[in-house]
Amino acid sequence: MRVAVVGHVEWVQFARVERVPAPGEIVTAIDVWEEPAGGGAVAAVQLANLNGQVDFFTSLGDDEIAERSREKLTAMGVTVHAGAAGRPQRRAFTFVDENGERTITVLGPKLRPSGEDAALPWEQLARCDAVYFTGGDVAAVRAARRARVFTATSRELDTLHRAGEELDALVGSADDVGERLDAVELDPPPKFLVSTSGALGGWVRPGGPFRAAPIPGPVEDAYGCGDCFAAGLAYGLGAGLPVDEALALGARCGATVLTGRGPYGRQLTAADL
């Protein structure tokens, strides 16, 4: 298949701690590492692991961290098509506590690719079986909609509303106030609204509840679970799976990444299917 992600990347520094510090408290990190992440980047790597190839349309900063992001994503099988943001790369800091829960602070504005950037090969999206959208402008949404299957995160509702394009699936977390689908008023409405709720599974409309997948090992790190779920769902729909089977694939992706260090320590791959 041909699959793509249109969205953002941020350089993330991770710190594993016993617990997130209380106000005024100092804690010592057990482990620290850094790598390119953010919803777009994590979904792109997950699709590369499932499909063997993925195109990632994004925007990168004008600094050394941006170049490191490109190099690391490329090394993980992602073909990066990046517009120039003309500002420093967005960064983030993430605590991972002893229960694997992540707490994120983003530093700087979200860098979104523009569908009007002639330097990017937007025409390629018309040949894609599936595109997942995590960030961009209205023109980027319209370019992504030319794919056979178009899915997106509910964090981008304002842009999706202005674009007025039909989604095959809109995905959000019931546990994250920035992603909740309670008041979705997109016109035309998405074919499917998918609301996730961690170990409880989730709910798809139309349809009903779906189960979480068994976790294939000890819980390590929740960073990237939702992004990998969304990538797996997009992949499944692009492959022509019924929505219940695509949801099950997404759930397996989310459960697998939970058992690795950071978003790339362990992801579901084509060999696992």
Share of the chain above pLDDT 90, in %: 94
Tell me the DSSP string of the chain.
--EEEE---EEEEEEE-SSPPPTT-----SEEEEEEESHHHHHHHHHHHHHS-EEEEEEE-SSHHHHHHHHHHHHTTEEEEEEE-SSPPPEEEEEE-TTS-EEEEEES------TT-TTS-GGGGGG-SEEEESS--HHHHHHHTTSSEEEEEGGGHHHHHHHT---SEEEEETT-TTT--TT---SSPPS-EEEE-GGG-EEEETTEEEPPPPP-S-----TTHHHHHHHHHHHHHHTT--HHHHHHHHHHHHHHHTTSSTTTSS---GGG-
- What confidence score (pLDDT) does residue 239 get? 98
pLDDT at 185: 76
> What pLDDT, in 10s, does the model give residues 208-235?
999 999 999 999 999 999 999 999 999 9
CATH class entry, domain 3-266: alpha beta
pLDDT in tens, 70-91: 999 999 999 999 999 999 999 9
Q: What is the pLDDT of residues 149-199, one digit of tens each?
A: 999 999 999 999 999 999 999 999 877 666 566 556 789 999 999 999 999
pLDDT at 223: 97
Q: Where along the chain do its domains lie?
A: 3-266
**What is the structure's pLDDT at 177?**
63
